[in-house]
Amino acid sequence: MSDAYLALEDGRVIEARGRAPGRTRGELVFTTAYTGYEESLTDPSYEEQVLTFSYPLIGNYGVRDERFESDRVHPRAAIAHEFTEDVAEWLDAGDVPAIDHIDTRELVTSIREGGAMKCGIAVGDGATPEDAKAELSECRGMSEHVDIGKRVTTVDHTTYGGGDTDVALIDCGAKMSIVESLVDRDATVHVLPYDTTPGEIAALDPDLLFISNGPGDPANFEAAETLVDEYVGDLPIAGICLGQQVVARALGGTTEKMAFGHRGVNQPVRDLDSGQVVMTTQNHGYTVGEPGDELDVKQVNVNDGTAEGLANEDLDVLTRQYHPEAHPGPHDSLGFFDDVLALTAENRNVVADD
């Protein structure tokens, strides 16, 4: 095992066991998920972050690519109390630095109390604390307004399924589970680059505009915001995670950075109409602050009251901050996709009646 060091923004340098070599930097965040490490590590929403697992053993059921949410690992580095050999070898093959044999519970507590922090990591034979500090120094100089969408979006228009409903899915870092959930409901899903123009949407003439999840600040996804502004009222519009934030911004709402975000598979959400509470999977560091005059808050996080669901029935807009398509689970909220596709059927009926 190689030398490994984690330098934190609070001044600490933690010695660890190196499992995959490399040097990197990023925002240190954590997930509380007990399972789903393959899905988390391949989730584009973790782009440019360093992911800490609060559950102590990561890798106890192997690594299988059919569980992946994208074609690569997105966090810049991974941290656990213990990684199995399967996971360590997978991360090593992907050139993703990984460390373990540290007190991740204490590390997670630090993030909860002080918020997400920048960090530097150095792993490899001969790595030193100074190497990790140098990475941290570089991280402090990084801009928070990078065009991160380019790193996670599709390059070309890609089509999945062959159903009756055409969905224009704007790929701001979309999980494949979103595509699969729509295809399973007899939709044709057109996965489009994050900077798709209104004219390109017009040429496609879809039944639904869907803004995906993605990493970082929603203010960096101005093109997607423009699409919502252009087509609201003409097309049903849906959004998940960052997609909810983009929709809110386009309709006059505000977004803000959270202290440490919501990341895990055990986030409770209450529906304000029914009073029902469901457990959800989440991964976001930003949230909707004020929804604006056009959107109603329909669901809230039980723990902190943040907006988890927005809607405008007259404009056929429906969004969720959490991931209804969650893999490996829970699956309490999969009905969201049925509700979204029902908007398209209602919209076609209105057009036909006119």
286 is in an annotated binding site: yes
283 is in an annotated binding site: yes
Q: What is the pLDDT of residues 225-258, one digit of tens each?
A: 999 999 999 999 999 999 999 999 999 999 999 9
C-alpha dihedral sign at 15, 97, 38, 140: positive
Would the pLDDT of 350 be above 70?
no
Q: What is the CATH number that goes with domain 149-353? A: 3.40.50.880
Q: Is residue 288 within 8 Å of 321, Cβ to Cβ?
A: yes
Cα–Cα distance between 299 and 328 in angstroms, integer? 22
What letter represents residue 83's amino acid?
Answer: F
Cα–Cα distance between 284 and 260 in angstroms, integer? 9
pLDDT given for residue 211 in this prediction:
98
Q: Which of 179, 44, 201, 26 is nearest to 116 (CA)?
A: 26
Same CATH fold assignment for domains 2-140 and 149-353: no
pTM higher than 0.75 for the full model? yes
Domain boundaries, the chain: 2-140, 149-353
Q: Is residue 283 within 8 Å of 294, Cβ to Cβ?
A: no
45 is in an annotated binding site: yes
214 is in an annotated binding site: yes
Cα–Cα distance between 225 and 172 in angstroms, integer? 11
Would the pLDDT of 348 be above 60?
no
Say whether 91 sits in a helix, a strand or coil: helix
| CATH 1.10.3720.10, domain 2-140, yes or no | no
Cα–Cα distance between 44 and 51 in angstroms, integer? 12
Number of Cβ atoms within 10 Å of the Cβ of 273: 9
Q: What is the pLDDT of residues 100-133, one digit of tens each?
A: 999 999 999 999 999 999 999 999 999 999 999 9
Proportion of the chain above pLDDT 70, given as a percent: 95
Per residue, the 3-state secondary structure of 225-263, as one string, reads HHHHHHHECCECEEEECHHHHHHHHHCCCCEEEEEEEEE
Instruction: Give CA angle at 252 (246, 257), nearest 5°.
Output: 50
State the average pLDDT over residues 48-75. 96
Helices (H), the chain: 37-41, 85-93, 104-114, 129-140, 149-152, 176-183, 198-204, 222-231, 242-250, 335-353
Active centre residues (catalytic): 241, 323, 325
Cα 157–chain centre separation: 21
pLDDT given for residue 303 in this prediction:
96
> For 145-159, 185-199, 201-215, which range has the lowest pLDDT when averaged over its residues?
145-159
